[in-house]
Amino acid sequence: MLTVEDINVYYGAIHAIKGISLDVPDGEIVALIGSNGAGKSTTLRTISGLMKPKTGKILYEGHDIAGVPAHKIVGMGLCQVPEGRHVFANMTVLENLELGAYLRKDKDGIAKDMDDVFKKFPRLLERKDQLSGTLSGGEQQMLAMGRALMSRPKLLLLDEPSMGLAPLLVKEIFNIIKEINESGTTVLLVEQNANMALSIADKAYVLETGRITLSGTAKELASSEAVRKAYLGG
């Protein structure tokens, strides 16, 4: 579904992404793990059109989308849930979800997807008229994911969904990511919590200082000594 070929990305003079290539097969969960500052978020921002690679290709369903504006990429079925959630704090939960569907015109489909989001995240239904800025961190993460689902994505990019959440909530969020995938959405997951990421992923890549240093099935990486020492606490 997505193939990134040898992309190089710069912040001014800083060479942030150094020739990385990766594949996200249709229907799978692919995890991108690595420590803080490794370039994981930059990779996602480049795929979703918020940054432009200096060189390389980003092929989504066979089309090179490198340099395509972000809103057009969303319209093609590729949507990102940003790190830090970024809900619209002064708008209600319902208004945030409606914004997720801003490119769509199919009222019946939007209503059905709204029901689906409320089934996945019952807490959002309870708080639908509440201002999003008053939600807890976990509820805001659910809202950010629900808002992305309202665009009906074929490929969902998730940037650090567990960040700042209590362990019980992390488990809940990861169960929902699995559920989203099982209902037909392909997922590219960026996550510092390598244990959780590898427990639900099909395949994974390790990113270190802008380069991919390891790749394989999630099982292979979970049992790799180098990965265990660096990311899995021994």
The CATH number assigned to the domain holding 192 equals 3.40.50.300
Give pTM, 2 decimals. Answer: 0.94
Q: Which residue, among 196, 233, 186, 187, has the nearest Cα to 218 in the 3D structure?
A: 196
* Cβ(185)–Cβ(154) below 8 Å: yes
Q: What is the DSSP letter of 132?
A: G
* Digit-coded pLDDT (tens) for 174-189: 999 999 999 999 999 9
* Digit-coded pLDDT (tens) for 31-44: 999 988 899 999 99
* Digit-coded pLDDT (tens) for 129-140: 999 999 999 999
Report how many domains make up the chain.
Answer: 1
pLDDT at 47: 98
Domain of 18, in residue numbers:
2-231
* Digit-coded pLDDT (tens) for 73-95: 999 999 999 998 899 999 999 99
* Digit-coded pLDDT (tens) for 146-169: 999 999 999 999 999 999 899 999
Beta pairing class for 14-24 and 2-11:
antiparallel
